[in-house]
Structure 1
Amino acid sequence: MACLQRNFQQSSSGNQRPFKKLQGSRASAFAEMHQPTLRLLPERGYEYAERKVARVSVDYRVDGHYYSVQYRHAQAQVDARTTRTAAEPLQRGQRIAGHAHCTFKTRARR
């Protein structure tokens, strides 16, 4: 812990040290150029998503899962967008359904 404090003190004092050939210091350059452009972090964090092209089967399932869609989308080609928590079939960029993500595939009924 003491090592971290010492490193922080050394870096902060180095940031206050004036430039040799320019006006100001690292801290003043940051405050002048970069700090005004900083923004707050978004409320929701980034969530990795995978996309793949899939075809809706005749029983309205997408990609072997019971992610059902409306009957008019049967046998249509859709973009299946899956995240860690959700699965969404998209058609022409519009979400046509939304489901909680299922980690296992279901077997077809006979």
Structure 2
Amino acid sequence: HAADAALSALLPSLNERPFQKLDGSRASLFAALDSPALTSLPTQPWQWAIFRTVKAHIDYHVEVERHRYSVPHALVGLELQVRIT
């Protein structure tokens, strides 16, 4: 914790130090380039997903990784996309 506090105290001077061969500093470039492009984080966390194509059987079921799931009767015979998380 002491090391973090010491580094936190030195960070503003590092970010405000002018570049040697370019105009500006790290802080000025961040304010000009990166800050306007930042957006808020998504409301839902990212989740790994795999998509597969399955066919709805005559008994109103699709099989996904050895599990059977029922579907509406209007989908019988159609190929469907499933999302596996």
CA RMSD in angstroms comes to 1.8
AA at the equivalent of 1:53: T
1:54-93 residue pairs with structure 2 within 5 A? 54-63=54-63, 64-83=66-85
Structure 2 unaligned blocks of 5 or more: none
Distance 2:44 2:32 in 1: 29
Bigger fraction of residues in helix: 2
Report 1 or 2 for greater relative contact order, CA contacts < 8 Å, sequence distance ≥ 6: 2
Name the TM-score, length of structure 2 as normaliser.
0.78
> Gapped runs of 5+ residues in structure 1?
84-110
Q: Which stretches of structure 1, 4 residues or more, deviate above 4 A after TM superposition?
A: none
Instruction: Tell me the equivalent position of 2:52.
Output: 52
* Offset, 1:12: 2.9
Query: How many positions carry a matched residue from both structures?
Result: 83
When normalised by structure 1's length, the TM-score is: 0.63
SS at match of 1:67: strand
Q: Secondary structure at the match of 1:62?
A: strand
The alpha carbon displacement at 1:9 in A equals: 2.7
CA distance in 2, matches of 1:72, 1:22: 65
CA distance in 2, matches of 1:20, 1:77: 61
